[in-house]
Structure 1
Amino acid sequence: MKKIVLIGRSEAGKTTLTQALKGEKIEYHKTQYVNNFDVIIDTPGEYAQTAGLGHALALYTYEADIVGLLVSATEPYCLFPPCCTPMANREVIGIVTKVDRKEANPEQAKRWLELAGCKKIFFVNSKGNEGIAELLEYLKEEGDVLPWENEKNQ
């Protein structure tokens, strides 16, 4: 799998998405430090929200193949400035989270990510497992076998 670093503000859904991508039970816990797993780097929202810590995020992008910018469909604003994706020397994708919420506005979140420079955008509901398969397919590399592909071969 291509390694992805997840970047977004606090409560954007980075840790919940990490759990969903790993096939784990969804349990809320606050990410206090950068969690560098095999193919996912889960970062605390404070790193994106604090100027002094933002530079650390840039360093973690070097350890990933893809940068995932997360915006919750329930957010009233977006942290990412227009045209910021060219600053990364990696592919940058957008991920709209919490699309299942009653107050969600996924189209607004999509427009913010497009304005930031994301060309490819995924819509996910991590708790309902919606959009997770599409994201995993995108991260898949030649030779990778996803769990549902294993079931087909048995």
Structure 2
Amino acid sequence: MKKIILMGRSECGKTTLSQALRGGEIAYRKTQYINHYDVVIDTPGEYAETASLGRALALYAYEADVVGLLCGATEPYCLFPPCVAAACTRPVIGIVTRIDEPGANPGRAQRWLELAGCRPVFRVSAYSGEGIWRILSYLKEPGDRLPWENAEEAERPRTVLSDKYGETGRKRP
């Protein structure tokens, strides 16, 4: 799997999405520092919101294969300026989170991410699992086997990912 770094403002859903991508239990945790997992780098929102801390995101982006810019579908504005993706030396994808919340406007958030230069843009709900498998398929490299691709496991419940101890995660939509 390609390694992805998740960037966005505070409470846009970065940690929740990283939990969903890893198949873990969804539980709110405030990210206080950069968290490295097998294929996900989770960053605090304050790094993207503060110019002096934002420079650290540029350095951590070198450790990832893909940069994921997140924007919640309920956010009143977008943190990312137009064409910001052009400054990155990695592919930059957009991820619209919280698409199933009341008052959500995923189309507006998607347009903001497209304006920032993100291609492609994924719409996801970490709680329902909608769209998570599309991100995993995008991050898949040749030779990788995603849990729902194994013919032997066709009778088992479909999972997004299993954690490093082999416990199954959330069901795939």
TM-score (norm 1): 0.97
Give the counterpart letter for 1:97 in structure 2.
Answer: T
- Match of 1:5, SS state, is strand
Listed one character per residue, the Cα deviations across residues 87-109 of structure 1 (whole Å, up to 9, x for unaligned) are: 00000000000000111000000
Number of matched pairs: 153
C-alpha deviation, 1:82, in angstroms: 0.5
* SS state at 1:58 partner: helix
Which residue does the alignment assign to 1:111?
Answer: 111
Q: CA deviation at 1:48?
A: 0.1
Q: How much does 1:153 deviate? A: 2.8
- Percent identity reads 65
Within 5 A, what are the aligned runs for 1:46-65? 46-65=46-65
The structural deviation recorded for 1:45 is 0.2
Q: Which residue of 1 aligns with 2:4?
A: 4
Q: Provide the C-alpha distance between the structure 2 equivalents of 1:117 and 1:134, rounded to a whole number of angstroms.
A: 19
Residue 149 (structure 1) shift = 1.5
| Cα distance, 1:37 vs structure 2 | 1.1
Question: 1:147, CA displacement in angstroms?
Answer: 1.3
Question: Aligned partner of 2:108: which letter?
Answer: Q
Given residue 106 of structure 1, which amino acid in structure 2 is its aligned partner?
P
Unpaired stretches in structure 2, ≥5 consecutive residues: 154-173
Residue 152 of structure 2 corresponds to which residue in structure 1?
A: 153
Correspondence list, 1:1-154, <5 A: 1-150=1-150, 152-154=151-153
Q: Tell me how far apart the structure 1 counterparts of residues 72 and 15 of structure 2 sit (CA, whole Å).
A: 13
The whole-number CA distance in structure 1 between the counterparts of 2:75 and 2:99 is: 11
Instruction: Give the TM-score normalised by the residue count of structure 2.
Output: 0.87
- Greater Rg over alpha carbons, structure: 2
| AA aligned opposite 1:52 | S
RMSD: 0.7
Residue 38 (structure 1) shift: 1.3
Name the CA distance, whole Å, in 2 between partners of 1:146 and 1:100.
25
Which residue identity is paired with 1:153?
E
Decide which moves more: 139-148 or 91-100: 139-148
